[in-house]
A and B are shown apart, each in its own frame.
Chain A
């Protein structure tokens, strides 16, 4: 349709041009108007702007429902942010138990993902032969492609029994934060690895050659030259990893337990912010009830938390990136 339209237009203007040429014997070099092109450009602009509407939509929806939540008589913002009990049945809305469980599971995940991910990245970028790298990297990336619900199943049917056989069934609850956190770490490992590896590979060869020339061993080159040079990228990878762990839902929903619990014990069951949202909205939820509004308040906090982490990571890279020629 657009092709036809533009063809018609160009035909008309060509005829007009010929006529003018005979009358004034000059060429018309003005830009032809092409409505078809403008329509296409308008559609493309709409596509680009749609993402803005998504963000505005998220902010409006979360903000609006949270506002309903906080204007409720039973709820105050100070109680929400400082209360240590979350039990909607008796009107207690303290976010801390949910937040703490999120922090505990994320912390355990980071204990696994950061050292292993960085170690794997150093191995792949500094030690592995090109052939080994060509095999190892895609295999690690398969881990990143496994759906999170599968990791949830894995945490519940493999990690929890494993922990129970090590620490005893009395210490380790069937649903516990440790199993969820450990499996989450495995899930995030490839992300840390591939982002850090990109940062390390971007360090120019000349820096390594310089270090070797001064008599440094391979390890000294890697840890004292290459890692510091790629540090901004590595830290950005860490920050993105934390934000992924905080927002992860299915592993904790399946394996960490249902029911808020204000505890630091990793073997106890406790519900995270995301796990709570999933459980509440999975049931029969009536609109405009306080339960419905409360999950949006939790969502708002979650959104702000991950937004700050993601923007922080990007700023970090831009600010501290070493630019090499």
Chain B
């Protein structure tokens, strides 16, 4: 290869030298091959470590300290008591003023058992966390942890706790990590995503149909296409700022619901967030849908025209059914991006602390990623644990969505063929 042109024979290595050359080149090949394999594996290891860290923080031992020992309140564990018994305990142990305030916000009869239990733990028992340990620590060094807890806070009891639990999903936000849940955040995310899909799917598909089926190759349409490609690369936080200026401020009468007769909110509503998310995922939906439409064979369209169908009839009955699996898959992937997006929601103004469920597009809201961000940025150990548990909820949601995408694609493509 490196042989000079003038001396074709003498420039090339011979015999033993050639053997050495080949061995050297092969060795180099093997070394680099393992480097390439290594970089692939580093990616996989990173994924494994990421998942492990989250699972590791979602479960583990927790040392609980009490102001009042629950055993003095009742002879049975508090978790086994009925709601009425818990209400009695609550009434006996807090001032009548405080009880009346609670009764006024939500009557005791309407509160769930978990809710009342939370109140008892918060107001009467005054539970606090003396320390938390990760899953691996809890399993491997249990005796050391027990000794440490006994030395540092003798009154505390050590319990194994799964931070991710049924109660975690169904209780609202709280400033006490032990009874905080993701209910409001979960509802907020679902509302937001629902409205986002409602707008983004028809508009995205429409734009893709226009660009692939109607648009002629002229300057105007080329600009639209380039523009969509560029929008796909704009950082998500910029969309947040667009949403803040346009949806939250400029269109406040619409997004706060005032023109529809809804009072009592400003522009920082679910609707504003959904519209912002719509703009964010539109380019992704359009680009994916365009690819799906382009993959429908031209012969199908020509056959339809040949039978006298109009352009829209052809699209409606032949192009769209063929492209639908691809369009839906692209939409679901875009939506799963929207579910995890945090930055635009922060800028648009999702609330960080909110306890009532959102009740429509014009209500204030919080979302799962916002909750995770909020808990992650607190220093105390137990908030790290509930952040990890909330991440588990988010990842399960994404996994479900992606499985649905695969299922839809398989089912529809089977029907199409």
Interface residues of chain A, those whose CB is within 8 Å of chain B, are 2, 6, 34, 36-37, 40-41, 43-52, 54-55, 57-58, 61-62, 65, 115-120, 122-124, 126-128, 136, 139-140, 142-143, 145-154, 156-158, 186, 189-190, 193, 214-220, 223, 240, 243, 246-250, 253-254, 274, 277-278, 281-282, 287, 295-296, 299, 302-303, 306-307, 309-311, 314
Contacts and interface: CB of A to CB of B under 8 A. Distances in A.
A50 B227 CA distance: 11
Contacts of A151: 50
Given A120-B40, A150-B50, A150-B391, A311 B241 contact: no
Contacts of B202: 47
Given A37-B310, A48-B215, A143 B342 contact: no
B50 A296 contact: no
B57 to A, nearest CB: 7
Contacts of B235: 246-249, 274, 302-303, 306
Contacts of B346: 278, 281-282
A48 B57 contact: no
B42 to A, nearest CB: 6
Contacts of A116: 39, 42-43
A142 to B, nearest CB: 6
B282 A51 contact: yes
Given A34-B310, A54-B231, A149 B369 contact: yes
Contact of A218 (B29, B283, B394): B29
Given A127-B33, A274-B235, A136 B242 contact: no
A73 B215 CA distance: 48
B37 interface: yes
Contact of A254 (B57, B312, B376): B376
Interface in B199-241: 202-207, 209-211, 214-215, 221, 223-224, 227-231, 233-241
Contacts of B53: 154, 157-158
A51 B241 contact: no
A147 B241 contact: no
Nearest to B233: A310
Interface stretch (B83-91, B124-132, B146-154, B243-251): B243-251
A149 B370 CA distance: 9
B44 A140 contact: yes
A61 B245 contact: yes
Given A51-B224, A54-B231, A55-B231, A247 B43 contact: no
Contacts of B286: 51
Nearest to A217: B29
A149 B342 contact: yes
A152 B376 contact: yes
Contacts of A150: 50, 54, 340, 372, 391, 394-395
B28 interface: yes
B1 interface: yes
Contacts of A142: 47
B111 interface: no
Nearest to B371: A149
B1 A214 contact: yes
A34 B46 CA distance: 58
A57 B234 CA distance: 13
B241 A123 contact: no
Nearest to B26: A217
B291 interface: no
A62 B245 CA distance: 9
B312 A47 contact: no
Contacts of B279: 54
Most buried by B among A37, A150, A151: A150
A117 B36 CA distance: 9
B2 to A, nearest CB: 12
Contacts of B36: 119-120, 122-123, 126-127
Given A157-B57, A249-B342, A278-B237, A120 B207 contact: no
B35 A119 contact: yes
B38 interface: yes
A150 B25 CA distance: 43
For the complex, would chain B's binding face be called helix, strand, loop or mixed by DSSP majority? helix
Name the 10 nearest CB pairs between A and B, nearest first: A147-B340, A247-B235, A119-B39, A47-B206, A123-B36, A310-B233, A249-B343, A44-B210, A219-B29, A47-B207
Contacts of B337: 145
6 contacts: A47-B205, A119-B35, A120-B39, A186-B50, A277-B241, A281-B346
Given A48-B224, A147-B369, A302-B235, A278 B44 contact: no
B9 interface: no
Contacts of B269: none
B373 interface: yes
B230 A145 contact: no
A243 B239 CA distance: 15
B181 interface: no
B376 A153 contact: yes
Interface in B318-353: 336-337, 339-343, 346-347, 349, 352
A185 B262 CA distance: 46
Nearest to A279: B346
A58 B43 contact: no
A108 to B, nearest CB: 15
B118 interface: no
A296 B241 contact: yes
Contacts of A302: 235, 237-238
Given A55-B227, A146-B50, A240-B233, A119 B238 contact: no
A90 B391 CA distance: 39
Contact of B312 (A37, A152, A223, A277): A37
Contacts of A310: 229-230, 233
A65 B40 contact: no
A52 B249 CA distance: 21
A23 to B, nearest CB: 25
A58 B207 contact: no
B384 interface: yes
Given A147-B398, A295-B241, A219 B54 contact: no
A148 B340 contact: yes
A254 B377 contact: yes
A7 B262 CA distance: 41
Nearest to B237: A249
A206 to B, nearest CB: 19
A142 B402 CA distance: 10
A140 B43 contact: yes
Nearest to B352: A282
A1 B42 CA distance: 57
Interface in B32-68: 32-33, 35-40, 42-44, 46-47, 49-50, 53-54, 57
